[in-house]
Amino acid sequence: MLTERRGAVEWVIFNRPRARNAITPWMEDRLIEICRAVDADPGVKALVLTGAAGDKPAFMAGADLSCLQSVSSPEDFAILETRAEAAAMALEAVRVPTVAVLSGPCIGEGALLASSCDVRIASPSVRFGFPIARTVGNCLSVKNLARLSMLLGTARTREMIFSARLLVAADLAAAGAVRTVVAGEEELTAHGQQVAEELAALAPLTLWATREGLRRLRDHSLPRDIDGDLLRRCYLSADYQEGIAAFLDKRPPVWSGN
């Protein structure tokens, strides 16, 4: 991961272009560290997330499969889920407004992190979603379903997962999930900086209190450990292991429901 200061805006660049910027545990921990550093630096007024482009643009193509493949016990899946949630919560709690600059795949944990930002802008190449019903056969936590429902609406969230379809830029714009869809990739970085500077010029406490209030409104209705049984049943299933193996073998999975 790279960081770059542009004026009062801190840019975070997911930098694994050969892997379409798939996130690793180290990257999750590093993102948390960056958010803490931003909190401690009064010179930073906004935070932007983006992905390094390789041959094709990419924000983040989900979690690194080697990490998913290692899940074989309740402890393993708890660590996996806790770390991903900690990264999302760090973005939601950081004191400055956050912008996700999206292009190419924004899938799985990439879509989760983008959903945790205050503002999203996108290029026409963006593909957003959680095709898990077609690929690895796991499930989302209730908190992540709540994040997506606040961003897209409950019906769109259900349809996105039930269809295993990735949303395109027009879908995100229709849902109000992105502020702007730029005309081309070459405009994305400059527009991301412009949006971040506009946010940085606004009353910081107003933005912070609004974001924190919305987060509390969302989380207030979520009992603790509301979804442990759901996560265990999916992550510890034969279907999950089959989904990972099929994905790595580049073949269709054969689901058993076990």
Read off the pTM.
0.92
Average pLDDT, the chain: 93
pLDDT for the residue 224: 75
Tokens describing residue 21: 């910027």
Which secondary structure element, helix H or strand E, spans residue 51, and what is its range? strand 46-51
Alpha helices in the chain (DSSP H): 25-39, 65-69, 74-93, 109-115, 142-152, 154-163, 169-174, 188-200, 204-220, 228-235, 238-249
Q: Which of 174, 166, 173 is nearest to 123 (CA)?
A: 173
- Residue entry with tokens 């990972």: 244
AA identity, residue 74? P
| 2-184+195-200 under CATH 3.90.226.10, yes or no | yes
Q: Which residues of the chain have pLDDT under 70?
A: 68, 70-72, 74, 77
* Strands across the sheet containing 9-14: 2-6, 9-14, 46-51, 98-102, 119-122, 180-181
pLDDT for the residue 80: 79
pLDDT for the residue 219: 86
pLDDT for the residue 77: 67
Judging by DSSP bridges, how do beta strands 105-107 and 60-61 pair with one another?
Answer: parallel
pLDDT for the residue 120: 99
Long-range contacts (CB closer than 8 Å, 24 or more residues apart) made by 216-220: 218/146, 218/147, 218/150, 219/143, 219/146
pLDDT for the residue 74: 65
Q: Domain residues of the chain, as ranges?
A: 2-184+195-200
pLDDT in tens, 200-256: 999 999 999 999 999 999 888 777 777 888 888 888 899 988 998 898 888 999 999
Give the max Cα distance, the chain.
54
